């Protein structure tokens, strides 16, 4: 029989490895109620949005058309001021409104609906967590968002929606006040992360369960959060491959569910007995989005 402390320094008495089923048991026995989730681009590939580093399909292997010096330049300020076009071409592809949340997004929404989601930290800029109905106060969009945009000259802030037309028409958005280039509030390499990122200082020590879904954990300071929960707290990785501390420093309470993100999430949902409830939620949300698209 597996004994698992309630996360207050409690520790597994048995020698057996924690399994996904054990984690599901901790959730429905309410031993885990403050769940923090960290996600990356792998969460949204089933929605049709390429990730960054998957060989071949990842964005960073498909930027030839923009003839930029190296992939990350597309998110670098000095290159942006030299030539903003590649970033805006990419923005046209990624702009919210062209894609829909997938099964895994709605699992995270169900965690929220059940009062189990302490916070969702996302590196994604597709905004699909909001579209899935997770409220902004439960979200930390660590690498920014298209929801707002800032003039690079006078620093005025605008709703991202104001420039959707320009981006879709492949026109560089200009500030109506000073005519400076307006950049969506996507965090570029070297830029400050949003202030909300610093909620991690209290969220991670409070967490009693951590899910890490669809990320290579290659980019700091986001990646280090994976090591910020207490050592007794289970960490569940749902990802195609072992990444970050799951690869180089696995802990006793780590669970790695490797493979496709949707099948991994389906297994968790199955163990939790939430299958029908989640299907119902997805059906309702799809009807809402269809009505909006009319
Ligand atoms: N199922 C399971 N895993 C998947 C799937 C899938 N369908 N699709 C992708 N993955 C995995 C990949 O194998 C990889 O481990 O998700 C991870 C995605 O990693 P990245 O492409 O590096 O994306 P991410 O971790 O979000 O990148 C972080 O890099 O350039 C920056 O700002 C950018 O936010 C981004 C950051
Ligand atoms: Zn301006």
> Over the stretch 218-251, which tens digit does the pLDDT of each residue have?
999 999 999 999 999 999 999 999 999 999 999 9
Check whether 175 is labelled as a binding-site residue.
Answer: yes
143 flagged as catalytic:
yes
* Alpha helix stretches (DSSP H) within the chain: 20-28, 77-82, 85-94, 103-113, 128-131, 164-168, 200-206, 244-248, 261-272, 275-293
Instruction: List the structure tokens of 105.
Output: 């997004």
For the entire predicted model, the pTM comes to 0.92
Say yes or no: CB of residue 47 within 6 Å of ligand 1.
Answer: no
In angstroms, the CA 246 to CA 97 distance is 34
Q: Is the pLDDT assigned to residue 6 strictly greater than 70?
A: no
Closest protein CA for atom 5 of ligand 1:
42
Q: Which residues contact 80 (CB under 8 A, 6 or more apart)?
A: 87, 183, 188
Q: Is the pLDDT assigned to residue 213 strictly greater than 90?
A: yes
Q: Is the peptide bond before 221 cis (omega within 30 degrees of 0)?
A: yes
Which chain residues have CB less than 5 Å from ligand 2, an ion?
Answer: 151, 153-154, 175, 177-178, 180
In angstroms, the CA 2 to CA 198 distance is 35
Say yes or no: CB of residue 53 within 6 Å of ligand 1.
Answer: yes
């Amino acid at each position: 029989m597996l004994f698992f402390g309630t996360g207050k320094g409690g520790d597994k008495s048995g020698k057996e490895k924690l399994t996904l089923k054990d984690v599901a048991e901790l959730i429905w026995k309410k031993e885990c109620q403050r769940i923090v989730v960290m996600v990356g681009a792998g969460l949204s590939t089933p929605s049709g949005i390429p990730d960054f580093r998957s060989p071949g399909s990842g964005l960073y292997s498909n930027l030839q058309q923009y003839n930029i010096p190296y992939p990350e330049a597309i998110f670098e300020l000095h290159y942006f001021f030299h030539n903003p076009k590649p970033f805006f071409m990419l923005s046209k592809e990624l702009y919210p409104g062209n894609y829909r949340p997938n099964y895994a997004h709605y699992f995270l929404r169900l965690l929220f609906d059940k009062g189990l989601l302490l916070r969702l930290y996302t590196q994604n800029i597709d905004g699909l967590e909001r579209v899935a109905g997770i409220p902004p106060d439960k979200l930390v969009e660590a690498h920014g968002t298209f929801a707002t945009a800032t003039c690079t000259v006078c620093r005025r802030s605008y709703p991202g929606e104001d420039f959707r037309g320009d981006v879709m028409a492949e026109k560089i958005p200009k500030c109506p006040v000073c005519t400076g280039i307006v950049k969506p509030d996507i965090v570029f390499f070297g830029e400050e992360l949003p202030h909300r990122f610093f909620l991690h200082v209290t969220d991670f020590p409070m967490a009693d369960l951590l899910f890490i879904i669809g990320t290579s954990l290659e980019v700091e300071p986001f990646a280090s959060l994976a090591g910020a929960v207490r050592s007794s707290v289970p960490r569940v990785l749902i990802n195609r491959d072992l990444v970050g501390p799951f690869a180089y420093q696995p802990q006793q309470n780590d669970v790695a569910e490797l493979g496709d993100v949707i099948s991994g999430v389906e297994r968790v949902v199955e163990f939790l007995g939430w299958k029908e409830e989640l299907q119902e939620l997805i059906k309702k949300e799809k009807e809402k989005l269809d009505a909006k698209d009319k």
